Each structure stands twice: as C-alpha cells, then as structure tokens.
Structure 1
C-alpha cells in the first residue's frame, strides 16, 4: 500500500528522525520542508537512514534499560 506524501503541517515532532526533516511513512523515507515533500529513493541514502534509525532505537532501548534499573543508592557520609 502506498502512503501519501507527508506535508510539513502534518508532521509531528515525534515522527521526525532525530529532529531532522526526514520522516518514514510505511516503507518510504520522505524529506519534508515547508515548500514540499520529496520521496527519498536512492538506495544508498535510504539504507543509511534505515541504519541510523535502527541505531537510535537501540540507543533508546539501552537508555530505557538503564533507567529501569533505578538509580544506584548512595552511601551516607559519616
């Protein structure tokens, strides 16, 4: 199923890849600006976007695991 081109106004900050004007809709990467959207079709570029997104997701999971373990308790000073 093809996804419609995103418009600048319809992009939530959380949809952007690390605050960039790049969003993923379905299997497609889009470059989005106030003047319009452009489907990213270069396999080398979209492959890098895929790897970057996967690395960010892995980092987010690692941070969440560390936070879930809780803060280490500090020993009281005498």
Structure 2
C-alpha cells in the first residue's frame, strides 16, 4: 500500500514535531528534509514519536491553563 509522502515544500514549521524533521501526515510519521521524505516504519521509534507528541500536547494545554488562570487572577485583583 502506497502512502503519499508530504513534500518538503508543503510542510510548515508548525506541522513539525518540536522543530524536528518528524512530521505526522495522516496515520504515519515521516522524516522530512530538503532532499526528500522517508516513512518512519519502526514501531518502537514511531511509538516514541507518538508519546513525545502527546507529552508536548499535554504541556501546551497545561501552559494555556496556567496563562488563563493567571489572566483571570489579574482581572480579579484590578
């Protein structure tokens, strides 16, 4: 089964996993560089990418929550 690779030109910085060459495209992880794309097929490696992506998402949610509570606290004091 063929999986369309994301082209280098179409990958935005925001789509990359924390500035790495790892890009999630559909259900697959790709390693993308200026010279081309390679499907990451090793289940141990892709599992680590999944866990890292989940941890980053949780951290982003926590930071958003902290900032939201901080803004609400500042408004309450004013």
Q: Does TM, scored on the shorter chain, surpass 0.5? A: yes
**Matching residue of 1:7:** 7
Name the count of aligned residue pairs: 73
**Matching residue of 1:21:** 21
Q: CA deviation at 1:7?
A: 1.2
Q: CA deviation at 1:3?
A: 4.9
Distance of 2:22 and 2:47 partners within structure 1: 13
**Matching residue of 1:54:** 54
Structure 1 residue runs of 4+, over 6 Å off?
Answer: none
TM-score normalised over the length of structure 2: 0.86
**Matching residue of 2:40:** 40
Tell me how large the CA RMSD over aligned residues is. Answer: 1.6
Contiguous gaps of at least 5 residues in structure 1? 74-78
Contiguous gaps of at least 5 residues in structure 2? none
Structure with larger Rg? 1
TM-score normalised over the length of structure 1: 0.86
